[in-house]
Amino acid sequence: MAKILINDGIHPDGKAALVAAGHEVVTDKIAQEDLPAQLPSFDAIVVRSATKVRKELIDNCPNLKVIARGGVGLDNIDVDYAKDQGRQVMNTPAASSESVAELAFAHFLGLARFLHHANRDMPSKGNTEFKTLKKSYSKGHQLRGKTLGVIGIGRIGQETAKIGVAMGMNVLPVDLFIKEVNLDIKIAGTTVTVNLPSVSMDEMLASADYISLHVPSTGKAIIGTEEFVKMKDGVIIANPSRGGTIDEDALLAALNSGKVAGAGLDVFVNEPTPRADLLNHPNVSLTPHIGGSTVEAQRNIGMELADKLNGFFS
């Protein structure tokens, strides 16, 4: 059986499944700077986004057989190098898809109805300026009938598209590799299959009222000044994918000009210290990288990790 370090946490059910299989499971977090000294005694490490597993750490741990990531993105792991060194790299691409998609729509709905402002104003002004606030926040929009652009139509993008279709939106996927998807949408006990062909980025940008990003980190922005110019005026954007997929300078300029009416951001370039001018912009809805952080998603992640690790070490 294996000695496994769970360095960024795991759902209790996932830990229990590993322990039941006979593994020694350590969940006391080891600081990044202390990992080179302590990780060599482990057979596997499980991380989320906080812990980095880079080349130097991999070289320092010859007994390490598995590097597992609870979640989708692997940008905090030197994946290619790890594989070249014969280490197994795992992640849980499906476990949190629904939670991330729902967060994108939480931002969309909040921005469309100014909830990020109303929730601040009501406690301080609600009992003295109720009618004024009602007038101020009575020009929101509904999502039904609007066009949703989904950049990246993998597992999370497909879950986002399903919500959009179910809400009556026209959905335009953009993906370099996937030409079309068939979405199985469960409604009132019935499954409805909807076919969505991918469109070009330019076609989507010109048509979308709402845009959601679901792409891995590529080292450069997917949305920058050129893309903002091509968008409709008053577009609303959500980014629950990775910091850096939107050029933050270009986003601020688009927000200040009114080209972008609102942005829902769960990820940032300089996490965990995002830039203050973005955090304080009045037309930005904010969450601290919690896309996959629901009780249901965390259990799914924990159980999927346990299944994969148990299978590897069996």
CATH number of the domain residue 178 falls in: 3.40.50.720
Per residue in 171-181, pLDDT (tens digit) is: 999 999 999 99
137 shares its domain with 78: no
Task: Say how many CA atoms lie within 13 Å of 35 toward its Cβ.
Answer: 25
Are residues 15 and 142 both part of a single domain?
A: no
Q: Which residues of the chain have pLDDT under 70?
A: none
Residue 149's pLDDT is 98
72 and 112 share a domain? no
Identify the pLDDT of residue 49. Answer: 85
Active site residues: 242, 271, 289
Strands 147-151 and 210-213, how do they pair? parallel
Domain tally for the chain?
A: 2
Same domain, 69 and 205: no
Same domain, 169 and 59: no
Residue 198: φ, ψ to 5°: -70, 150
Residues 120 and 52 in one domain: no
CA 79 from centroid of its chain's CA atoms: 19
**Which pLDDT value is given to residue 107?**
98
Of residues 138, 66, 142, the one with CA closest to residue 314:
66
138 lies in the same domain as 252:
yes
Q: What is the pLDDT of residue 222?
A: 97
Q: 205 and 65 in one domain?
A: no
Query: How much is the pLDDT for 217?
Result: 84
β-bridge mates for residue 148, sequence order: 171, 210
In this structure, the answer to whether residues 147 and 232 fall within a common structural domain is yes
- What local confidence, expressed as pLDDT, does residue 230 receive? 98
**Spatial contact of 153 and 181, defined as CB atoms under 8 Å apart:** yes
Q: 102 to each of 34, 39, 190, 207, 243, how far by Cα in Å?
A: 36, 36, 21, 22, 19
Identify the domain containing residue 60 by its residue range: 3-95+295-313
Q: Could you tell me whether strands 210-213 and 284-286 are parallel, antiparallel, or unpaired per DSSP bridges?
A: unpaired
Q: How far apart are CA 166 and CA 187, in angstroms?
A: 8
